[in-house]
Amino acid sequence: MCTCHSTITATALFLAAHEGSTGPAWCTMANHFHLNTPLLESVGMSKLVGTTVYLKMENSQPSGSFKIRGIGHLCQQMVRQSKGVVCASGGNAGMAAAYAARKMGVPATIVVPSSSPQLVVQRLQDQGATVKITGKVWDDANAEALRLAETEGLTYVPPFDHPLLWQGHGSMITEVAASLGPGVKPGAVLLSVGGGGLLCGVIQGLKDVGWTDVPIVAMETVGAHCFNAAVKAGRLVTLDDITSEAKCLGAKTVCKKAFEYSQCNELTIISELVTDQQALHAVQTFLDEERVLVEMACGAALAAVYSGLIRRLQDEGLLPTLLGPLLVIVCGGSSVDMEQLTNLKHKLQT
Ligand code: PLV
């Protein structure tokens, strides 16, 4: 069939389903904001782990991280008639909300804590967002975002705790299944946990493709470890403070759904911690070996490979010795550049 004809038909169907015949301009461009990202084999990491390692390159999303999948999906469902959106973020959820809002022609206000580096503020402003700095950590910024939603009538965009986000994030696993082809399935999935949205989204995706028996290694840094604290305590725990430099993992309390999944017998979720030094070392090694710069939040997951943690989990019998391919979610992040990396090196290596 002529591809041009099928494109017009798809667009027409999309418009009819969403807006009638006169939808906004963004509807005619594509029916989602995220890209289908590459799935790359890492020779260096495969050597370390002893099985094929696949990298799902979410760093290459237009907003710099996986967040655009869920936030783009949520915005398409909730933002159509909005005066504007407001999102509280360590940085990347805000980047995704600002990107989606710009594409939809809607104003965006992003509230970040003072711990977010200046380069994040600049990048958010470059996306056309109004940036407000409130409080020390994400939880403080979130209180302000909720207040603005109430008083200014803005649509609140949650960064990690909403079923539409999880549904949107789930698309990354559907893509992995398509890339790997029939009959190939990961031996384990490795990812980072902040507020737990990525974890819930990956589980949603695993459910969608029938892979719920695949174990998940859920990584956090010490000092941004709200999921690990909840798993250990057997209940939701609110951390006193965020002391890790992985600020984008810095929610004080993990979302309820992520905790519920950790208690679910049908899923295997292994919660582990690395130090900031290990996360930073992983960021540097990844830059050298894969030629890609990611932020500390992502380094936490990569450190599980570079620090030998995956091998240890195999030795301890928590992961099988003959492990199938390891799927690493390279969640990305915009809170990093060479200057920020140098600052972190000085701060953490002295
Ligand atoms: N960052 C959120 C929450 O911050 C934000 O506002 O951007 N990797 C990267 C690069 C991230 O930015 C985040 C979340 C995560 C991983 C963890 O994802 P989550 O929060 O869905 O578990 C406080």
Cβ pair 252, 239 in contact under 8 A? yes
Answer whether 70 contacts ligand 1 (Cβ < 6 A).
no
Per-residue model confidence as pLDDT tens digits over 277-306? 999 999 999 999 999 999 999 999 999 999
Q: What is the pLDDT of residue 30?
A: 62
Please state the rounded mean pLDDT for residues 302-331.
96
Angstrom CA distances, 128 to 98, 99, 330, stand at 7, 8, 26
β-pairing, 216-221 vs 85-88, is unpaired
Residue 14 has pLDDT above 90, yes or no: no
Rounded to the nearest angstrom, the distance between the alpha carbon of 106 and the centre of ligand 1 is: 23
Give the residues across from 88 on adjacent strands.
111
Answer whether 298 contacts ligand 1 (Cβ < 6 A).
yes
Answer whether 251 contacts ligand 1 (Cβ < 6 A).
yes
Atom of ligand 1 nearest to the CA of 160: 21
Residue 315 has pLDDT above 70, yes or no: yes
The residue written with tokens 């509230």 in the block is: 111
**CA 167, 170, 172, 176: dihedral to nearest 10 degrees?**
-140
SS3 327: strand
Rounded to the nearest angstrom, the distance between the alpha carbon of 159 and the centre of ligand 1 is: 7
Residue 280 and residue 347: Cα distance in Å, rounded? 11
Rounded to the nearest angstrom, the distance between the alpha carbon of 248 and the centre of ligand 1 is: 5
Residue 113 and residue 297: Cα distance in Å, rounded? 16
Angle of helix 67-78 relative to helix 92-104, nearest 10 degrees? Answer: 40
Residue 10 and residue 342: Cα distance in Å, rounded? 48
Residue 25 has pLDDT above 60, yes or no: no
Answer whether 250 contacts ligand 1 (Cβ < 6 A).
yes
Angstrom CA distances, 140 to 50, 112, 144, stand at 43, 9, 7
Q: Confidence band (pLDDT; 50, 70, 90) for 350?
A: low
Answer whether 64 contacts ligand 1 (Cβ < 6 A).
no
Give the residues across from 65 on adjacent strands.
332
Per-residue model confidence as pLDDT tens digits over 195-248? 999 999 999 999 999 999 999 999 999 999 999 999 999 999 999 999 999 999
Which residue of 56, 192, 221 sits with most ligand 1 atoms within 8 Å of its CB, as the best mutation to test the pocket? 192
What residues have CB less than 8 Å from 282, skipping those under 6 apart?
274, 299, 300, 302, 303, 305, 306, 307
Answer whether 218 contacts ligand 1 (Cβ < 6 A).
no
Which residue of 156, 198, 256 sits with most ligand 1 atoms within 8 Å of its CB, as the best mutation to test the pocket? 198
DSSP labels for 39-91? EEEEHHHHHHHTS-EEEEEGGGSTTSBTHHHHHHHHHHHH-TT-S-EEEE-SS
Answer whether 95 contacts ligand 1 (Cβ < 6 A).
no
